[in-house]
């Protein structure tokens, strides 16, 4: 069976910035408090006319242009998001149409902050099955649309952004690409990070709007403790299963939720700090967009090179957990 490899990467962030100084004027907080607890200095915010599909299309175009691939060559598109344009149709339908990807099928994948890691795994298996030659995995979220900017516990955390990776088969004998994945869900964590209203459990009503139930609600302490533990455990077990240790990892690219979670996981895994990619200071938590954005920055900084062993890891609402191991292809 062919091995799946990542052959191109494209990202997009809207130009408008929301800094900690801006937030100081909106809620009772300050730059020092935010930086010490989260590591975030600024985040990108989409203008009112921009939706998730718009950012996804921009990131996709960038990825396809990198290798001169026409959208009509795509076999499948996966859009990883918790902020779709609509409940239906799927956001992937809008993206497919805008790109002109006439031969592609696809679907939306919802696993909160773990969405992109899950999407990479699904895409890799489509390629390794021998049924798909070109799979585009997109992570895109417009988190600013579901954030309560009167809630200082959550409004400081999130930003908007998108990234896309193109997956293709590796050549025979080529030592690169997808190695293994470890995933987990723990539904007992559902009450601790969610958007209560808007689904079939609690349809939209005047009451749900008045109670601000269409925004992100989070028990920060519970989420923090779980994320620290599970990001470490999933990475540890995945590396061990494949005969590696933290010292073998050239680059760890974790979901960018909180700098303390990232540092704790890297330290416990024995991965040197300079090998752990952190860009949360400039983007905040873009949910499904964090890992492609961090991967792009690692490449631009010369920290991720062909042949490197790269470890992706994420923990998200649900709870969802995922770690993915790759040998970088370019």
Contact, 239 vs 249, CB < 8 A? yes
Choose, from 11, 80, 113, 155, the residue flagged as catalytic. Answer: 113
CB 255 within 8 A of CB 139: no
Residues 54 and 72: their CA atoms lie apart, in Å, by 19
Choosing from 80, 255, 258, 279, the catalytic residue is: 255
Yes or no: say if 165 and 36 are a contact pair by the CB < 8 Å rule. Answer: no
**What phi-psi label fits residue 164: left (phi over 0), alpha (psi between -120 and 50 degrees) or beta?**
beta
Assess whether 255 carries a catalytic annotation. yes
Q: Is 305 left (phi over 0), alpha (psi -120 to 50) or beta?
A: beta
132 in active site: no
Enclosing H/E stretch for 277: none
Residues in a beta bridge with 228: none
113 carries an active-site annotation: yes
Provide the token pair at 320. 């969802």
List residues with catalytic annotation: 113, 255, 285
């Amino acid at each position: 069976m062919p091995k799946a490899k990542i052959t191109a990467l494209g990202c997009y962030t809207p130009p408008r910035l929301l800094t900690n100084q801006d937030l100081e004027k909106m809620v009772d907080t300050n730059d020092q408090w935010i930086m010490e607890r989260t590591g975030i200095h600024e985040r990108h915010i989409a203008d009112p006319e921009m939706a998730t599909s718009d950012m996804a299309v921009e990131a996709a175009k960038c990825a396809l242009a990198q290798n001169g691939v026409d959208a009509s060559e795509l076999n499948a598109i996966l859009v990883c998001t918790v902020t779709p344009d609509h409940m239906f149709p799927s956001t992937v339908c809008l993206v497919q149409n805008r790109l002109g990807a006439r031969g592609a099928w696809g679907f939306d994948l919802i696993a909160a902050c773990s969405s992109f890691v899950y999407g990479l795994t699904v895409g890799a298996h489509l390629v390794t099955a021998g049924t798909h030659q070109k799979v585009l995995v997109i992570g895109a979220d417009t988190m600013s649309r579901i954030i309560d900017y009167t809630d200082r516990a959550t409004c400081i955390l999130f930003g908007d952004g998108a990234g896309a990776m193109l997956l293709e088969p590796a050549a025979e004998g080529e030592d690169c690409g997808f190695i293994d994945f470890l995933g987990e869900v723990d539904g007992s964590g559902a009450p601790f990070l969610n958007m209560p209203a808007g689904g079939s459990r609690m349809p939209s009503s005047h009451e749900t709007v008045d109670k601000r139930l269409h925004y992100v609600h989070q028990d920060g302490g519970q989420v923090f403790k779980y994320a620290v533990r599970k990001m470490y455990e999933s990475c540890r077990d995945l590396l061990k299963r494949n005969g590696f240790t933290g010292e073998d990892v050239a680059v760890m690219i974790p979901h960018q939720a909180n700098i303390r979670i990232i540092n704790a996981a890297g330290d416990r895994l024995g991965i040197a700090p300079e090998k752990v990619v952190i860009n949360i200071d400039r983007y905040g938590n873009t949910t499904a967009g964090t890992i492609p954005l961090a991967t792009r920055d690692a490449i631009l900084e010369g920290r991720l090179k062909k042949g490197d062993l790269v470890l992706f890891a994420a923990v998200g609402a649900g709870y969802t957990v995922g770690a993915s191991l790759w040998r970088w292809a370019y």
